[in-house]
């Protein structure tokens, strides 16, 4: 074989390998964002009557790479400050909607400020939406409402949380939660930037950064 022939074969093989790698990458991202996570341990109850702490929310930087297995970052059944905290906690409502006055594919409200150990009832008013962690404070656990009609999640770590609806993330279907303070504000800025880089609809490209700058300071 001449050097030239060798070089030709080498180039063709390299191109095939790169092509296969790209296809695998695309497919695994698609499956990661559409699959239902098999682990039930951080799934809270979907009975509206019951508020449990089985799913404290959050954990950092999952979303930037959907192929990271969420299980790896979960400390199951960890202790929570809410176990020993005295006082009345509130359950707030966040609705998942196909449309409201602010646009299509939205959480309502898209920004909510709550106190430590308060819960949010994610209500799937229109079918086909979920709410899952994109980025959250250190020490918190990720959540995913898995297309349940109603899921109550308690928040036991202070800071800012970004969550999305997996099928409509590219349409900027996401929301922000502030639990008491904004200790992770700098990380959140770059997480929102990263989230928006994947938004495909020009009209809503800056939806989340607009919500952020309007509400968080």
Binding residues (CB under 5 A) for Cu ion: these are 129, 165, 168, 173
User: Which lies closer to Cu ion via its Cβ, residue 79 or residue 99?
Assistant: 99
Task: Decide whether 157 or 173 has the Cβ nearer to Cu ion.
Answer: 173
Taking CB atoms, the residue at the shortest distance from Cu ion is 165
DSSP string of 13-73?
Answer: HHHHHHHHHHHHHHHHHHHHHHSPPS--TTPPP--TT----S-----TT-TT-TTS-GGGG
Cα 47–54–142 angle (5° rounding)?
A: 110
Compute the distance between CA of residue 90 and CA of residue 163 in angstroms, rounded to an integer.
20
Report, in Å, the least distance between residue 108 CB and Cu ion. Answer: 12
Report in angstroms how near the CB of residue 169 gets to Cu ion at its nearest: 8
Least CB distance to Cu ion at residue 152 (A): 19
- Phi and psi of 207, rounded to 5°? -55, -50
Number of H helices, E strands in the chain: 4, 8
Q: Could you tell me the smallest distance in angstroms from the CB atom of residue 107 to Cu ion? A: 9
| Closer residue to Cu ion, CB minimum distance, 59 or 129 | 129
CB 11, min distance to Cu ion, A: 43
DSSP 167: G
Cβ-based nearer residue to Cu ion, 107 or 212 = 107
Tell me the three state secondary structure of residue 60: coil
**Residue 200 CB neighbour total at 10 angstroms:** 10
Rank residues 115 and 148 by Cβ distance to Cu ion and give the closer one: 148
């Amino acid at each position: 074989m001449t050097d030239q022939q060798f070089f030709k074969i080498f180039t063709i093989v390299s191109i095939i390998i790169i092509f296969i790698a790209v296809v695998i990458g695309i497919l695994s991202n698609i499956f990661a964002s559409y699959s239902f996570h098999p682990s039930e341990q951080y799934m809270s109850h979907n009975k509206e009557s019951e508020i449990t702490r089985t799913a404290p929310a959050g954990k950092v930087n999952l979303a930037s790479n959907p192929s990271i297995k969420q299980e790896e970052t979960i400390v199951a059944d960890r202790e929570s400050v809410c176990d020993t905290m005295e006082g009345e906690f509130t359950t707030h409502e966040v609705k998942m909607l196909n449309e409201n006055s602010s646009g299509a594919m939205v959480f309502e409200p898209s920004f909510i400020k709550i106190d430590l150990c308060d819960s949010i009832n994610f209500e799937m008013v229109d079918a086909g939406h979920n709410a899952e962690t994109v980025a959250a404070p250190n020490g918190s656990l990720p959540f995913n409402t898995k297309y349940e009609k109603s899921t109550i999640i308690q928040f036991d770590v202070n800071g800012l949380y970004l969550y999305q609806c997996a099928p409509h993330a590219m349409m900027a279907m996401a929301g922000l939660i502030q639990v008491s303070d904004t200790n992770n504000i700098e990380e959140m800025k770059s997480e929102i930037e990263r989230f928006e880089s994947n938004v495909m609809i020009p009209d809503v490209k800056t939806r989340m950064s607009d919500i952020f700058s309007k509400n968080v300071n």
